[in-house]
Amino acid sequence: MTKVKVGFLGCGGIANAHMERLARMKDVEMVAFCDVVKERAEGAAQKYGGRAYTEHREMLDYEEMQALFVALPPFAHSDGEIIAAEKGIHLFVEKPIALTLEKAKEIDSAIKKNDVIASVGYHFRYMDTVNEAKGFVEGKTIGMVLGYWIGGFPGVYWWRKMDMSGGQIVEQTTHIFDLARYFCGDVEEVYAAYGRKILTDIPESDVPDVGTVTLKFKDGTVGNISNSCMISQGYTVGLHLFLKDLVVEVGWRLRIIEPNRTIERNCTVDAYWEEDRIFIDAIKSGDPSKIKSTYEDAVKSLAVSLAANKSWREGRAVKVEV
């Protein structure tokens, strides 16, 4: 069996989630691991085989691979994806794909120029609950969406700095913006208001602890997506769709509410496995049609969250431009 050789750029938490799944795929061989924290790269190499690196250019120069999984904090995206694309290496990039639209567009251009397959880790799109909901509302008119990411404060140092993570809207709630786009299409304009009243005692933190964003979609749908990172016990993550006499609550749990019945069920698939398996299959077949989040499309989701941050800073409604 010919195996797809895979490298990793970034070996933190979400990278390990992908490694665990790829290790169970008999047609995948992980050959190289790069992280600025030497111990993380070495730990992954010892567990899964292959070599460890702390410099991605060295890894990409030396190693032969067909695919590169990029799992970096927003601020750390530099030229790794571009070098890989120029070498014909296919890309799986975890969200958020960059901290600026300029960088994301630069990477997208390299992907297109070199005709490599690229998938982005918006794993909600691979949940069976989400796709059942998408089929259920197909042909119907969505009037409004309400989205939520209400939870706790991640412990990694870079998350607490706006100039490193982009804040919760960019780093976490991007999943919900992307999910809203998956159902309602592109966003035309946003207006955002954030606050920082509760978590003022976290050292060196400047990220807002609450935020809400009003969205106007190009098709006329309106929406609001709110987040908070001050609920350590967690609360809710998902998107609610409102149609005539119909409410569809989407996420790990699907809830369909009609006048005379309510349907509820939980997600039964491993969405991380699904997105990884589809990406590997796309490389093997040369057919990327089953990938649900391309890099080009992910740029549009990034643009919405960056527009929200701009709206908050400038105190006005902002057009979403890609």
The gap from C-alpha 116 to its chain's centroid, in whole angstroms, comes to 19
Q: Are the C-beta atoms of residues 208 and 311 closer than 8 Å to each other?
A: no
Give the pLDDT of residue 176: 98
Specify the pLDDT at position 294. 98
Q: Are 14 and 121 in contact (CB under 8 A)?
A: yes
CATH homologous superfamily for the domain 4-121+272-294: NAD(P)-binding Rossmann-like Domain (3.40.50.720)
pLDDT at 314: 98
pTM: 0.96
Residue with tokens 């397959």: 117
Angle formed at CA 75 by CA 79 and CA 66, multiple of 5 degrees: 40
Mode of pairing for the β-strands spanning 236-243 and 246-250 = antiparallel
The pLDDT tens digits along the chain (322 residues) read 789 999 999 999 999 999 999 999 999 999 999 999 999 999 999 999 999 999 999 999 999 999 999 999 999 999 999 999 999 999 999 999 999 999 999 999 999 999 999 999 999 999 999 999 999 999 999 999 999 999 999 999 999 999 999 999 999 999 999 999 999 999 999 999 999 999 999 999 999 999 999 999 999 999 999 999 999 999 999 999 999 999 999 999 999 999 999 999 999 999 999 999 999 999 999 999 999 999 999 999 999 999 999 999 999 999 998 8
CB contact burial 40-63 (16+ within 10 A = b; e otherwise): bbbbbbeebebebbeebeebbeeb
Q: For residue 151, give the nearest of 229, 213, 209, 239 by alpha carbon.
A: 229
**In whole angstroms, what separates CA 193 from the centre of its chain?**
22
Chain centroid to CA 300: how far? 12
3-class secondary structure per residue, 214-283: EEEECCCCEEEEEEECCCCCCCEEEEEEEECCEEEEECCEEEEEECCEEEEEECCCCHHHHHHHHHHHHH
**C-alpha pair distances (Å), 159 with each of 102, 170, 271, 317:** 21, 10, 24, 26
Token pair for 153: 């404060």
- Give the per-residue pLDDT at 322: 86
Between 174-184 and 128-137, two packed helices, what is the crossing angle to 10 degrees?
30
**Separation of alpha carbons 253 and 236, rounded Å:** 11
Cα 280 from Cα 278, distance rounded (Å) = 6
Domain ranges (residues) in the chain: 4-121+272-294, 124-269+303-319
Tokens of 308: 């929200």
Fold of 124-269+303-319: Dihydrodipicolinate Reductase; domain 2 (3.30.360)
